[in-house]
């Protein structure tokens, strides 16, 4: 009987997880990332990289370093400003890093992969992102 309950729970978890996740599209687009620092009036330092995949509610990016200047791009209460260069136009998105991992030396991309959950964006930028994702679905 316990095995049957585990099977039911596993299938339910698969259904719930699949239902909540937006489809991700493997696409390599240039990005620029900076820390959103509301306490400082100076221009924040930034790092350039590229996307590994993209969805309506998040993206995975590859950067050469996990730090910008003296500060880490991941951690508690960190908000990132991501400028995503779509074909023809750039959009500015804001998100929270949810995970990161060092990439192996032998891989084509060196550095770190950072998973970002998108929190906010202007209506214009969000609409441009959605329109771009629709072109990938075809």
Contact by Cβ (8 Å): 133, 86? no
Contact by Cβ (8 Å): 80, 33? yes
Residue 68 pLDDT greater than 70, yes or no: yes
Residue 7 lies in a domain: no
Residue 1 lies in a domain: no
Residue 129 lies in a domain: yes
Contact by Cβ (8 Å): 61, 68? no
The Cα 71–Cα 40 span in angstroms is 13
Parallel, antiparallel, or unpaired for β 112-121 and 89-102?
antiparallel
Q: Helices in 21-122 by DSSP H: which ranges?
A: none
Number of domains in the chain: 1
Residue 89 lies in a domain: yes
**Residues near 14 by beta carbon (within 8 Å), at least 6 away in sequence:** none
pLDDT classification of 127: cutoffs 50, 70, 90: very high
Residue 115 lies in a domain: yes
- CATH, residue 51: 2.40.10.220
pLDDT classification of 109: cutoffs 50, 70, 90: confident
Residue 17 lies in a domain: no
Residue 61 lies in a domain: yes
89 versus 121: the higher-pLDDT residue is 89
Residue 14 lies in a domain: no
User: Average pLDDT of 16-25?
Assistant: 66
Q: What is the pLDDT of residue 8?
A: 73
66: left (phi over 0), alpha (psi -120 to 50) or beta: alpha
Q: What is the pLDDT of residue 19?
A: 47
pLDDT classification of 13: cutoffs 50, 70, 90: low
User: Average pLDDT of 19-29?
Assistant: 80
75: containing domain: 23-137
């Amino acid at each position: 009987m316990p095995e049957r309950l585990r099977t039911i729970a596993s299938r339910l978890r698969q259904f719930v997880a699949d239902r909540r996740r937006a489809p991700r599209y493997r696409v390599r687009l240039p990005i620029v990332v900076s820390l959103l620092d509301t306490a400082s009036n100076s221009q924040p330092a930034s790092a350039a990289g590229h996307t590994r995949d993209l969805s309506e509610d998040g993206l995975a990016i590859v950067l050469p370093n996990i730090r910008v200047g003296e500060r880490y791009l991941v951690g508690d209460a960190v908000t990132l400003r991501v400028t995503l260069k779509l074909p023809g136009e750039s959009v500015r998105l804001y998100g929270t890093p949810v995970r990161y991992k060092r990439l192996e030396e032998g891989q084509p991309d060196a550095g770190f992969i950072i998973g970002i959950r998108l929190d906010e964006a202007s209506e214009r930028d969000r609409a441009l992102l959605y329109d771009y994702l629709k072109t990938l679905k075809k």
